[in-house]
Amino acid sequence: MSKAVPSVKWTRAAIRDLGLYNTLAGIIVPSVITATGIFMFRQFFITVPDELIEAARIDGVSELGIFFRIMLPLAKPIILTLAIFSFQWCWNDYIWPLIVLNDPKQYTIQVALRGLVGAENIDWTVLLPASVISIIPLAIIFGIFQKYVMSADLNSGLKD
């Protein structure tokens, strides 16, 4: 490595100390817990009716039981939405894999697509089909999980 930016050197050292440098786990692990995900869960849990939680407490369910037996099943659409977003963010990320990975065999598709662009010319006949192919996994994942995301109903189990 030639003269790298100091923050990149520090980041690589921290990643190396955690054992995540030049591994696929180094790309996946940081995207699991994000501020966006925490915010999405918070906003979702605020909308859950208090009557549902109170009824569980009256039935003698512990706080941990309320979370695992009531809140988590209700949060399935948010979990799936966040999983789709996280997959999309990881799939389309360019800078983070460039920092974490050093082995060209492990490069993500976005880094590999950037490698198709030359200094003076671009091979459009390869770049455009490769870009379309890179979108296919995102479309398949969204198609599979769309019915779960669209069928969220918080008021199930409550009387009006």
Please choose, from the candidates 45, 10, 79, the residue with its C-alpha nearest in 3D space to the C-alpha of residue 154. 45
Point out the least confidently predicted range of 19-23, 93-97, 142-146.
142-146
Q: Over the stretch 40-87, which tens digit does the pLDDT of each residue have?
A: 999 999 999 999 999 999 999 999 999 999 999 999 888 888 888 888
**Tokens 């695992």 sit on residue:** 68
Q: Per-residue pLDDT averaged across 129-157, rounded? A: 77
In CATH, 6-150 is 3.30.1950.10: no
The residues, ordered by sequence, that sit 6+ positions from 130 with a Cβ below 8 Å of its Cβ are 109, 113, 116
pTM: 0.67
